[in-house]
Amino acid sequence: MDHPNPKVLPARHRCSSLGTRALEAGIVRFSVLPSLSRNSAMVNEARGNGSPNPHLEASSGVIDSSKDSSRCSSPGLDPEQHDRLREKMRRRMESGDKWFSLEFFPPRTAQGAVNLISMFDQMGAGGPLFIDVTWHAAGDPGSDKETSSMVIASTAVNYCGLETILHMTCCRQGREEITGHLHKAKRLGVKNILALRGDPVGDQWEEAEGGFHHATDLVKHIRSEFGDYFDICVAGYPKGHPDAESFEADLEHLKEKVSAGADFIITQLFFEADTFFHFVTACSKIGITCPILPGIFPIQSYHSLRQLVKLSKLEVPQKIKDVIEPIRDNDAAIRNYGIEQAVSLCQELLASGLVPGLHFYTLNRSMATTEVLKRLGMWTEEPRRPLPWAVSAHPKRREEDVRPIFWASRPKSYIYRTQEWDEFPNGRWGNSSSPAFGELKDYYLFYLKSKAPKEELLKMWGQELASEESVFEVFAHYLSGEPNHNGCRVTCLPWNDEPLAAETGLMKEQLLRVNRQGILTINSQPNVNGKPSSDPVVGWGPGGGYVFQKAYLEFFTCRETVDALLQVLKKYELRVNYHIVDVKGENITNAPELQPNAVTWGIFPGREIIQPTVVDPVSFMFWKDEAFALWVEQWGKLYDEESPSRVIIQYIHDNYFLVNLVDNDFPLDNCLWQVVEDTFELLNRPPRHEGDRHHDPAP
């Protein structure tokens, strides 16, 4: 087989054995080129919506003669995804499609924040129209603390892809401070505000100097300062606000809030459907016509009921008291009753035709609310994904439809590292120019760290590691799902904090075999040739389409295996693209001119071809920094610095290579497993002795 002429680019870090292999195979070899230095201004070519940093283009010296051809005029795969919340509501109401939404409050601790974001991902799978995050005036809610209302809401939008409403109160805040919070919320991608007066921090309400006394004033201020940018929600009280002069007077205040610019209403919790029906009828009589969502509280414990009733100053109906009092010390029995009571209430509300959707007060607990929604038939885990990767709900990412495959299992990290981009790839990734990825040093951030505590990670990954083979077994147990010698199932790895993707099951046996022999896989996908977009395992995008994938394999392995792999890859030169890199940045690749390689694409009725994931050689250099660092940051630091376990992880970090392989012939059987088998065979051959007859070392 003919090979291209070798192209050797400058490298700061030399690796003689790999360099020799690369030259023999005619492979491009480079380190970090001066023009692509991480300390230099990084640019991307202009795309359909410009480069990630278009203001840098003039100084880049890069002339793109194909700007027009790189633009993608096709609409997004999910045109409703980035519509305004009130427009989503309007469409649902017109179609008669009921929805649900969920309320959460900021946790008190950093670990609580980790758990809450995990709950967002879990409950987001059920299909809420939106979530909302409460505002606690005494808890520094507008700060950058990981437990603040602002950060939790921003994380839900940017990293969990959830339509999110941020509560905002008048309590203990002046006009300028409130305006500052609103500007910050807008900058972070929050598009919806629930405007409240707020509960007093002490016994009596105290208006801040230069602040607002009523929610109506806050609504007016938002509209005055921000026009129509925010969708605004306000609170309604089915039995009247406890501080109001009368039920009728409170309704007039509600009408003022709506007239000032509120788009919809969420009510305080109540226990009987008639209470809500009376409230909606009364609202209609005085001219309130916006959507009114009932607030539902599934009773979960005696204590939580008492606390919520105390805060809301509500009276619990006697028939509920009669059931709960005898079982007040039995949380399970109360929770079961609460589920039954909430299901019955919701069924009555939905049957009335007066309710467009249901809003649940979760108290940051998932079980009761999820069970109620499942019994109502409203929990709709849609198996088909809009794109193969987790999307963000930030408005500036609305056109994004292409990402490098390397972050497939760490989408929150990718979003974090690209948060400063002004615009995002749409239609195609672009030619060999460098995206400006931010450095990732904040592994401690609650939305980037593992949700499992240290003690659990040690049980999964080993209290003590005896050798590199101990690490191999951790990977194998993650893939097999079988308990390890501690009787613990390995449910995550540093590169993937979630259970295995469904499509991994299509390659499970092959993955197990190679991991046990030191090919430590962190990302993979099978080849797919025209599966329906509705396929429950590999499908994505709108219905009626077909999806395609090239087989992809990404793994860490030792130097000896890489040496053998390079010999084997000569046989597959035109079929397999590859990229091999060590922690220092020494690279070997046969990617032509460092061009990105589309590895996932879809064809859908009435649309252009969508190619949402690519293997981009330049982005791979930024990913490798993160991938190698995770050995130490997430795994090695579990152990004492001088411990044998820490030394083993550090050795792997320092000496192993990160490899990715792409089989371009997707209609044929995946050849990557044969590549690996050929590599193992070569490794296991007896060594040649001096004087042996020369023969081709390739299999």
Continuous segment of H or E residues that includes residue 365: none
pLDDT of residue 33: 34
Q: 617 and 608 in contact (C-beta within 8 Å)?
A: no
The answer to whether the CB of 288 falls within 8 A of the CB of 258 is: yes
Q: What are phi and psi of 468, to 5 degrees?
A: -60, -35
Determine whether 252 is an active site residue.
no
The model's pLDDT over 110-128, given as tens digits with 9 standing for 90+, comes to 888 888 998 998 899 899 9
pLDDT of residue 259: 97
Percent pLDDT > 70 in the chain is: 82
pLDDT band at 12 (very low <50, low <70, confident <90, very high): very low
d(CA 257, CA 388) in angstroms, rounded, equals 42
pLDDT of res. 448: 73
Average pLDDT for 324-329: 89
Each residue of 264-291: b (16+ CB within 10 Å) or e? bbbbbbbbebebbbebbebbeeeebeeb
Averaged pLDDT for residues 326-337:
91
SS (H, E, C) 612-664: EEEECHHHHHHHHHHHHHHHHHHHHHHCCCCCHHHHHHHHHHHHCEEEEEEEC
The rounded Cα 644 to chain-centroid distance in angstroms is: 35
Choose, from 45, 80, 94, 103, the residue flagged as catalytic.
103
How far apart (Å, rounded) are the C-alpha atoms in residues 67 and 70?
5
The DSSP secondary structure of 155-194, one letter per residue, reads HHHHTT---EEEEEE-TT-BHHHHHHHHHHHHHTT--EEE
User: Does the pLDDT of residue 388 top 90, yes or no?
Assistant: no
pLDDT score recorded for residue 383: 56
pLDDT for 10: 33
What string of DSSP letters covers 373-442?
HHHHT-----SSBSSSS-----GGGTT---EEGGGTT-HHHHHHHTTT-SS---S---SS----PPP---
- The reported pLDDT for the residue numbered 205 is 57
Q: What is the pLDDT of residue 626?
A: 93
pLDDT higher than 80, residue 25: no
The pLDDT score that the predictor gives to residue 276 is 97
Residues making up the chain, counted from first to last = 699
Confidence of residue 462 (pLDDT cuts 50, 70, 90): very high
Give yes or no for a contact between 568 and 519, defined as CB atoms under 8 angstroms apart: no
Q: Give me the pLDDT at residue 79, please.
A: 53
Please write the tens of the pLDDT for every residue from 690-699: 555 544 544 4
Can you give the pLDDT at residue 660? 97
- Phi then psi dihedrals of residue 663, to 5 deg: -90, 110
CA–CA dist 673, 524 (Å, integer): 12
- pLDDT tops 50 at residue 106: yes
For residue 17, the model assigns a pLDDT of 43
- pLDDT for 288 beyond 80: yes
Give the mean model confidence (pLDDT) for residues 322-328.
90
Q: Of 42-46, 149-153, 385-389, 555-559, which range is least confident?
A: 42-46
Backbone angles phi, psi at 315, to 5 degrees: -105, 125
Could you tell me what percentage of the chain is helix, strand and coil, using 3-state DSSP and rounding each to the nearest 5?
40, 15, 45
pLDDT of residue 627: 96
- The pLDDT tens digits of the residues spanning 569-615 come to 999 988 999 999 999 999 899 987 778 999 999 999 988 899 999 99
Mean pLDDT, rounded, of the chain: 84
Give the C-alpha separation, 430 to 420, whole Å: 19
pLDDT, greater one: 436 or 193? 193
Question: Tokens in use for 404?
Answer: 């490098």
> What pLDDT sits at residue 351?
96
- Which tokens go with 235? 């609170």
Q: Is the pLDDT of residue 527 over 50?
A: yes
Question: Cβ(232)–Cβ(219) under 8 Å?
Answer: yes
Counting residues of the chain whose pLDDT is more than 90, the rounded percentage is 61
Task: Tell me the pLDDT band of 433, cut-offs 50, 70 and 90.
Answer: low
Assess whether pLDDT exceeds 50 at residue 20.
Answer: no
- pLDDT higher than threshold 80 for residue 50: no
pLDDT the model gives residue 213:
85
Are 675 and 566 in contact, with CB atoms under 8 Å apart? Answer: no
Contact between 445 and 110 under an 8 Å Cβ cutoff? The reply is no
Backbone angles phi, psi at 288, to 5 degrees: -85, 115
pLDDT in tens, 187-231: 999 999 999 998 766 566 566 666 788 999 999 999 999 999 999
Residue 603 is encoded by which pair of tokens?
């064809």
Higher pLDDT: 34 or 598? It is: 598
Cα separation, 300 vs 296, in Å, equals: 12
DSSP-derived 3-state class of residue 357: strand
Pick the most confident of 78-92, 161-175, 381-395.
Answer: 161-175
The amino acid that residue 246 corresponds to is: S
pLDDT at residue 509 above 70? yes
Confidence of residue 67 (pLDDT cuts 50, 70, 90): very low
pLDDT digits (tens, 9 = 90+) for 543-557: 899 999 999 999 999
The answer to whether 195 and 171 are in contact (CB under 8 A) is no
